[in-house]
Amino acid sequence: MEQFKNNKKYQDTIRTAKELFWKYGIKRVTIEEICKEASVSKMTFYKFFKNKTELAKTILENLVQSSLLDFDKLIKSELPFPQKLERIFLMKIEGMNNFSMEFIRDIYTNPNLDLKEFMEQKKNESKDSIINFYKDAQNQGFIRNDVKIDFLLSYADQIVKMMENENLMAQYDKPQDFIIEAMNALFYGIVKKSDK
């Protein structure tokens, strides 16, 4: 879709679909609704995208690329490690801002959309940067030496897997609330500290 990158109707379609997907999820939004809101014809839509799933993948690809650029900038910054970790944590939350639970469910639990595998692939592409960040932090003494990097990566994977559990996710108002709880459990544990 590189050839359409500077096309206003292409950008309007992406922007409109993103807003609708974030609010209502992917499955519930129709191509007709996207076209109407973006003021583009269905013919124009199909010139840009094969189907709604391809549009969703384009939006997610843009989101992932933007996040990777932000991550790269952050880890190369002069900020101390605790602040970097805090910012990474906030980036994760901000990345999910305005996502509806339907959107998350559509990605991770709707096999008809074929987006779970797509997101797994994108996650694997960014894995080396994250591993290097953790290893560097460990070498500098910011992460305990006995903590396995694979544990941190596996924990992050489990957070995503847990989002497939509809009963669990129903207990949170927003996906961000779940992410905060999962990250707090990793960093601070679940046992209340004694006042002694």
- Helix, strand or coil for residue 193? coil
Least confident of 53-57, 60-64, 96-100: 96-100
194: left (phi over 0), alpha (psi -120 to 50) or beta: beta
CA 65 from chain center: how many Å? Answer: 11
Q: Are the beta carbons of 152 and 134 closer than 8 angstroms?
A: yes
- The pLDDT tens digits of the residues spanning 33-43 come to 999 999 999 99
Residue 2 pLDDT: 65
Residue 138 has pLDDT above 80, yes or no: yes
pTM of the predicted model as reported, rounded to 2 decimal places:
0.72
More confident residue, 157 or 196: 157
Residue 153 has pLDDT above 70, yes or no: yes
Residue 128 has pLDDT above 80, yes or no: yes
Can you tell me the distance from the alpha carbon of 87 to that of 80, in angstroms, rounded to the nearest whole number? 11
- Helix, strand or coil for residue 10? helix
Continuous H helices in the chain: 8-24, 31-38, 42-48, 52-75, 81-95, 101-109, 116-139, 149-162, 166-169, 175-188
More confident residue, 76 or 90: 76
**What count of Cα atoms within 13 Å lies in the side-chain half-sphere of residue 39?**
3
- What the chain holds in terms of domains, given with CATH numbers, is 2-188 (1.10.357.10)
Residue 193 pLDDT: 59
Predicted confidence band of residue 111 (pLDDT cuts 50, 70, 90): confident
Can you tell me the distance from the alpha carbon of 100 to that of 116, in angstroms, rounded to the nearest whole number? 16
